[in-house]
Amino acid sequence: MPSIDALADRLSTYLGKDQVNLVRRAYFYAEQAHDGQRRRSGEAYVTHPLAVANILADMHMDHQSLMAAMLHDVIEDTGIAKEALCAQFGETVAELVDGVSKLTQMNFETKAEAQAENFQKMAMAMARDIRVILVKLADRLHNMRTLEVLSGEKRRRIAKETLEIYAPIANRLGMHSIRIEFEDLGFKAMYPMRSSRIGQAVKRARGNRKELVNKIEESLSHCLAVDGIEGEVSGRQKHLYGIYKKMRGKRRAFNEIMDVYAFRIIVDKVDTCYRVLGAVHNLYKPLPGRFKDYIAIPKANGYQSLHTTLFGMHGVPIEIQIRTREMEEMANNGIAAHWLYKSNGDEQPKGTHARARQWVKGVLEMQQRAGNSLEFIESVKIDLFPDEVYVFTPKGRIMELPKGSTAVDFAYAVHTDVGNSCIACRINRRLAPLSEPLQSGSTVEIVSAPGARPNPAWLNFVVTGKARTHIRHALKLQRRSESISLGERLLNKVLNGFDSTLEKIPEDRVQLILAEYRVEVIEDLLEDIGLGNRMAYVVARRLLTSDAEQLPSSEGPLAIRGTEGLVLSYAKCCTPIPGDPIVGHLSAGKGMVVHLDNCRNISELRHNPEKCIQLSWAKDVTGEFNVELRVELEHQRGLIALLASSVNAADGNIEKISMDERDGRISVVQLVVSVHDRVHLARVIRKLRALTGVIRITRMRA
């Protein structure tokens, strides 16, 4: 086991003597605090914080992070208060320890909820000081290295959480080495048999390929020497989980994956990277479409490198990564590679650090908008697996988005208000559907309109967590305002039967009823009525004085305008349209569903004033309504075209069409037609009747 003296020797290579002594002090404090405590493996507990500090020392982290690593379990496991740590080691270290401690388990109804809640707390802690997550990653890494002592079920649970949350976070922060180790350890714990089989196969394959790898390596080194370029050429090992993911995701056999030979060339300067690229392209022919320049356009986590695939000797494919030493360090340690806190705290974060900060800021924004922790973690998981596409704004700014992103994702990435008011888009100067997936290199322009609102259908195709969270948030606000408006109309309609209105009810009476229903403001009560969770006539009876004994008399039906939005829907069973006699069914949580007066589906509830309300169509009703028609006609050529042109001539629109032959002579066509009202429907039917061979037209109802 590593000792504190060995760690202190390593730290003295990059930290000052006083800082090393502070880390020592934190170790002895932790040793005393954890005295008598043991790990599952039987070792003294203090070996764990020491191992975590060693992992951070590999990354050359600052002394405060190392002190927090030594003390990270003190608050949680020993009962020592945060204030005591603050007095001993200063506020910054105490805050870091407190941040890491808050990420421990709490009791929740489900494991998923617990995981989601923990991650939410992690986002909060990361926002205050991003070193919290680095200490947490090191803590998790040591726990993963010592998983064997736990039960099988617990091992699998921790491994799953590591693969789903911690490995992607390490990747998002550009920490390649830690991500690889997380993935391989998690894979081994989750699928021990698969891991062992792939491991054995890799060993055999490496033995068989050794000679060819050496030959390719020699030819690449010779090629650089001839061009007078200094660089290190090394074979790149594929890690087990990466092989497994490719086999599953791309449905490839093990041999296909291992047949690709991977090399890395490390040089001193950026311009040398491009010289090396030219040299290797002269040596072997490049594969078209397989070159990626991550130096000019870095990945979202700050990763930089040139990637190319070549046809090598004997036609074997060779993958080559070309980068500088600094990029290599960045690729392995990411955000920890050029640690901000090494220099003065006022320096502006650059590169990976700035990107990490930007990501954490985005995560926090998502958390504030999300309805609950599970919705939040769903959004973040989407955000943690970015296979990026790079697109341009009309002014030439580069935007990084996950693969499969659409113009709506792009609009929300530019600004929330742009996303909320988006109505159309131009991709490379041509009008395109909002749902079209973006390709790298495209220029995207968003067309917005004041007063526009997000469409619920966007949730079916958006990819980014930010877009999904903001659309849901906007729809919730929209639904709330529409529910309040409908609830107020329903309540006032009932109160009118008592010759009263909401405005005439005394304020003290309103407050009394709000307290009785356990809501804080009248808007919450009106929202409940609009959503169908409370009955308007029951609330009206409670609002009026108790001597009002009879039910309110009807003041005529409630007028429907068609613009009530998300809280009013039209029944699919009977498809009512303006002009039809209608009735409203109050459905808990959904609001009001409009049915035809004689619809069989609500015949039992028809006379229940708690569930049904008489409705009428307002004079200014707007919108398009679907009606299903059944047309029986003699079979003839170009039948569908004839029907479509007749509907079109009556300014109607066919939403859906299906046909079946009743016999060789007569065809039955089912049409779903979009109309404005009954008069418009009559016009459409008249046009259809005018066609030769039409026998019967029926409007389909429940």
When pLDDT is averaged across residues 35-60 and rounded to a whole number, the result is: 86
- When comparing pLDDT for 563 and 317, which is higher? 317
Which tokens sit at 426? 């131009």
Q: Decide if 35 is catalytic.
A: no
- My answer on whether 186 and 201 are in the same domain is no
Residues 585 and 606 sit within 8 Å (Cβ to Cβ): no
List, as one string, the DSSP characters of 653-684.
Answer: EEEEEEEEESSSSEEEEEEEEEESSHHHHHHH
- Beta pairing class for 625-634 and 694-699: antiparallel
Q: In DSSP terms, which residues pair with 475 in a beta bridge?
A: none
Q: Give the model's pLDDT for residue 472.
A: 84
Question: pLDDT higher for 155 or 376?
Answer: 155
Q: Distance (Å, rounded) from C-alpha 691 to C-alpha 643?
A: 8
Position 550 pLDDT exceeds 50:
no
Candidate from 140-149, 259-268, 361-370, 686-695 with smallest mean pLDDT: 361-370
Residue 347 lies in a domain: no
Specify the CATH number for the domain of residue 204: 3.30.460.10
Look up the domain containing 13 and give its range. Answer: 4-190
pLDDT, position 108: 43
Q: Per the domain annotation, does 579 fall within a domain?
A: yes
Number of domains in the chain: 5
Same domain, yes or no: 526 and 452 = no
Query: Which helix H or strand E contains 246, and what residues bound it?
Result: helix 240-249
d(CA 658, CA 262): 55
Residue 587 and residue 520 share a domain: yes
Residue 493 falls inside a structural domain: yes
- Per-residue pLDDT tens digits for 344-375: 444 455 555 666 666 666 666 666 666 566 66
* 141's tokens: 């890494």
- State the average pLDDT over residues 655-679: 85
- The domain boundary, picked from 336, 360, 395, lies at 336
In a domain, 346, yes or no: no
Verify that 377 and 509 share a domain, yes or no.
no
Where are the extended beta strands (E) located within 532-665?
A: 558-560, 568-570, 582-587, 591-596, 612-617, 625-634, 653-661
| Confidence class for position 341, pLDDT limits 50, 70, 90 | very low
Least confident span in 10-24, 219-233, 388-402: 388-402
Task: With a cut of 60, say whether residue 273 has pLDDT above it.
Answer: yes
Residues 199 and 186 in one domain: no
- Which of 591, 617, 643 lies at the terminal end of a domain, its last residue? 617
Supply the mean pLDDT for the chain. Answer: 81
Q: How far apart are CA 647 and CA 656, in angstroms?
A: 12
Same domain? 225 vs 305: yes
Kindly state whether residue 183 falls inside one of the protein's structural domains. yes
Residue at 32 is within a domain: yes
> Do 155 and 200 have their domain in common?
no
> In this predicted structure, what is the pLDDT of residue 36?
83
Assign 328 to helix, strand or coil: helix
Cross-strand bridge partners of residue 38: 44
pTM of the model: 0.59
Annotated active-site residue in 43, 58, 77, 329: 77
Q: Known catalytic residue: 271?
A: no
Q: DSSP letters of 481-516?
A: HHHHHHHHHHHHHHHHTTT--GGGS-HHHHHHHHHH
The 10s digit of each residue's pLDDT in 136-154 is 889 999 999 988 888 888 8
pLDDT of residue 585: 84
One-letter amino acid at 669 equals: V
Verify that 588 and 656 share a domain, yes or no: no
Token duo for residue 539:
């609330």
Check which CATH number belongs to the domain holding 436 and give it: 3.10.20.30
The amino acid present at 316, given as its one-letter code, is V
Whether 185 and 199 share a structural domain: no
Other beta carbons within 10 Å of 621 = 18
484 and 378 housed in the same domain: no
Per-residue pLDDT for 244 more than 80? yes
Give the active site residue among 76, 329, 445, 524.
Answer: 76
Same domain, 97 and 59: yes
Residue with tokens 């008598």: 36
28 in the same domain as 132 = yes
Q: Give me the mean pLDDT over the 374-395 stretch.
A: 67
Would 486 be classed as within a structural domain?
Answer: yes
Cβ 69 vs Cβ 58: under 8 Å:
no
Q: What CATH number does the domain containing 122 carry?
A: 1.10.3210.10
Last residue of a domain, one of 617, 641, 669: 617
Residue 343 lies in a domain: no
pLDDT (0 to 100) of residue 121: 64
What would the mean pLDDT of 602-623 be, rounded to a whole number? 78
Q: Give the per-residue pLDDT at 552.
A: 46
- What confidence score (pLDDT) does residue 105 get? 44
Quick: pLDDT tens for 414-471. Answer: 888 899 899 999 998 899 899 889 887 788 999 988 888 888 888 888 888 788 888 8
On the question of pLDDT at 104 being above 80, the answer is no
